[in-house]
Amino acid sequence: LNIESFDEALTFRRKLHDLAKVHSFLIMEDRKLADIGSIVEKQLSGKPFELEKLANFVTLHGLSGPGALKSISNSFPHLGIILVAEMSSEGNLLTKEYSNQVVALANGYENHVAGFVSQSRVDKTGQFLQFTPGVGLNVGGDNLGQRYTTVADAVEVRGADVIIVGRGILSQDPKNWAETAIEFKKQGWNSWKKRLIQIGRASCRERV
């Protein structure tokens, strides 16, 4: 989809919001913002896209410190924030220490931060969601360093609450997009049920 004008952006936003109401889904703008607070604010409010009017959530790197987090929470309190703590690309520079610092950034912003983009459970409190990227129907990767994991591994092993799927759908023939999305949904739900059973059994063992 190529949007180049304000009118096109406005039309797209209205159609997407109408679909969200009909089908009861939320919209995440996975822009991975990573600048100082004032620039992030302009990126979210600038025309023609006006991303803060399009999305319910935005993804944000912690690279610039708490300024961007503060800017979004103050200027766009309706937006949920998802902090990028880990990435799925090979050789990425997000160390364990960095991930811990990103998690610490959420302190004081619990009403704005929905969770973390991560490959594992980085939050030990259990109050934040885990959004795991790089999920496909098959394991593998690409020639640019992306590493894919399966739905079952992401949900049952790594603890994902939300799987982030992009090329897993869009790399297919467009006529198969809907069918592929439904398959992701089916596998995700089945893995979630298995994970709940595992949690229930572990809880019973602890009580015994």
Element (H, E) at 69: helix 66-75
Spatial strand order in the sheet of 147-150: 135-136, 147-150, 140-141
How many CB atoms are located within 10 Å of the residue 138 CB?
A: 8
**Which token pair is 132?**
């795991």
| 173 a catalytic residue | no
Crossing angle of the two packed helices 37-45 and 66-75, in degrees rounded to 10: 40
Q: Report yes or no: 58 and 82 within 8 Å, Cβ to Cβ.
A: yes
Question: Sign of dihedral through CA atoms 166, 92, 103, 156?
Answer: positive
The single-letter code of the amino acid at 29 is: E
Of the candidates 7, 15, 21, 30, the residue annotated as catalytic is: 30
**Adjacent-strand bridge partners of 59:** 82
Of the candidates 18, 35, 124, 186, the residue annotated as catalytic is: 35
CA–CA separation, 103 and 97 (whole Å) = 10
Of the candidates 15, 21, 32, 153, the residue annotated as catalytic is: 32
| 193 a catalytic residue | no
State yes or no: cis peptide before 174, omega within 30 of 0.
Answer: no
| 153 a catalytic residue | no
Question: Which residues fall within 8 angstroms of residue 103, CB to CB, at 6 or more apart?
Answer: 83, 85, 116, 122, 123
Q: Which residues have a catalytic role annotated?
A: 30, 32, 35
